[in-house]
Amino acid sequence: MTGFAGRVCGLPATRHALIRCTAADTRGNLSTHREAFHHELLAMAQAAHNSGGIVIAQVESLVDHHEILQAIHVPGILVDYVVVCDNPANHQMTFAESYNPAYVTPWQGEAAVVAAEAAPLAAGPLDARTIVQRRAVMELARRAPRVVNLGVGMPAAVGMLAHQAGLDGFTLTVEAGPIGGTPADGLSFGASAYPEAVVDQPAQFDFYEGGGIDLAILGLAELDGHGNVNVSKFGEGEGALIAGVGGFINITQSARAVVFMGTLTAGGLEVRAGDGRLQIVREGRVKKIVPEVSHLSFNGPYVTSLGIPVLYITERAVFEMRAGADGDARLTLVEIAPGVDLQRDVLGQCATPVAVAPDLREMDARLFQAGPLHL
């Protein structure tokens, strides 16, 4: 599902909307029955129409009438033009898939289907990424949240791994609108296989901002000794990469608990895991824990002051925000992987000092054992 507001027919950019749906009937009513999510389709069409602008809808096909009234997402009174695009290459369901029926098939308690979706992960490599994801799954087991948000990137596969580990009792959501089911990974992120419902993205954020998330599991790009996180800007000057924050701030400021995921170093990192231990085969060139983040996407001390627990998971160490002797919250090392050296492999790979908890413990050995994770 895509939406775009820009120059249409040579007219001023601010009034017009280009949207995408599945089918249009003879009166311009638009359905979304083959779309994985709805984003802000209705809101965009209403805003453009009520501002005197033009609404152009791309669809797969024209129909005489829609068989299911509830499939209509944008009424024809808002639509000016319909463009039929019957080439699947130009109407993909996600960036990676032309069409996946699982994204529009409602959840029916089909445990076998979910298990089949997760099964390929069992044979995957036990690399740094998988170890971090496994440790996040353990947080699901420990915290027993009711509603969970999974972020893009490394967190996206946590749902599949959790089902593979036999966990249930929680509902996974993603910001694009799917509720329940198993969130998709990679370029299909935003969709979910066998969801319970799919709401508009603005409605999803209304729910998030109202405090609906018990646990948010999000990616980690850069972290400093104060517990601040950067996911939005990398580099300086003209060469800087501006990724933006998306819904990151909305989610991290309203969730009841936040877990960040990322490797301790980047750029060539290679690890070997087995028999419950971890070995750093080749260290990454870039240290992810820095003296000060280059762009503030998440304020660790502020969020901690609200009473929200914050955890940072890497493949070899786990950190959390804890109060120091002066009462100020700071980044504190609380877990270390069995097999790694505290000074050489952890503290020496941080570009700034971090506190070490007096009750420092080893990460669970099951994280570093081949085969499925059993909890």
The gap between the terminal CA atoms of the chain, to the nearest Å, is 36
Can you tell me the distance from the alpha carbon of 167 to that of 47, in angstroms, rounded to the nearest whole number?
42
From 3.40.1080.10, 3.20.20.70, 3.40.50.150, 3.40.50.410, which CATH number describes the 104-368 domain?
3.40.1080.10
Contact 152, 219 (CB under 8 A): yes
Average pLDDT over residues 223-252: 89
Same fold, 3-91 and 104-368: yes
State the alpha helices, DSSP H only, in the chain.
41-50, 111-118, 128-143, 158-164, 201-209, 248-252, 300-305
Q: Beta-carbon neighbour count of residue 174 at 10 Å?
A: 27
β pairing state of 81-84 and 55-59? parallel
Q: Specify the residue for token string 């002066």.
A: 326
β pairing state of 147-150 and 215-219? parallel
Q: Specify the residue for token string 């749906």.
A: 21
Instruction: Give the best-scoring range by mean pLDDT among 130-144, 160-174, 314-328.
Output: 130-144
The confidence score (pLDDT) of residue 307 equals: 92
196 catalytic residue (yes or no): no
Average pLDDT over residues 181-193: 93
The confidence score (pLDDT) of residue 238 equals: 78
Contact 156, 150 (CB under 8 A): yes
Backbone dihedral region for residue 165 (phi beyond 0: left; psi -120 to 50: alpha; all else: beta) = alpha
Q: Beta-carbon neighbour count of residue 62 at 10 Å?
A: 12
Asked if the model's pLDDT at residue 121 lies above 50, the reply is no
Contact 202, 191 (CB under 8 A): no
The confidence score (pLDDT) of residue 12 equals: 53
The confidence score (pLDDT) of residue 100 equals: 95
Q: Lowest mean pLDDT of 1-15, 20-34, 62-76, 343-357, name the range.
A: 1-15
Q: Lowest mean pLDDT of 247-251, 322-326, 365-369, name the range.
A: 322-326
Radius of gyration (C-alpha) of the chain in whole angstroms: 23
Q: Specify the residue for token string 């036999």.
A: 166
3-91 maps to CATH 1.10.10.60: no
Can you tell me the distance from the alpha carbon of 230 to that of 245, in angstroms, rounded to the nearest whole number?
9
b/e 66-94 (16+ beta carbons within 10 angstroms → b): beeeebbbbebebbbebeeeeeeeebebb
pLDDT band per the 50, 70, 90 thresholds, residue 205: very high
Which residue out of 175, 283, 320, 335 is catalytically annotated? 175
The confidence score (pLDDT) of residue 14 equals: 61
Choice between 356 and 164, residue whose per-residue pLDDT is larger: 356
Q: Which structure tokens are listed for 280?
A: 């750093």
Asked if the model's pLDDT at residue 218 lies above 80, the reply is yes
Can you tell me the distance from the alpha carbon of 175 to that of 197, in angstroms, rounded to the nearest whole number?
13
Contact 217, 312 (CB under 8 A): no
The confidence score (pLDDT) of residue 237 equals: 77
pLDDT band per the 50, 70, 90 thresholds, residue 372: confident
| Domain regions of the chain by residue span | 3-91, 104-368
Q: Beta-carbon neighbour count of residue 169 at 10 Å?
A: 9
Look over the chain and give the mean of its residue pLDDT values, rounded to a whole number.
90
This model's pTM is above 0.85: yes
Asked if the model's pLDDT at residue 13 lies above 70, the reply is no
The confidence score (pLDDT) of residue 291 equals: 96
Asked if the model's pLDDT at residue 327 lies above 90, the reply is no
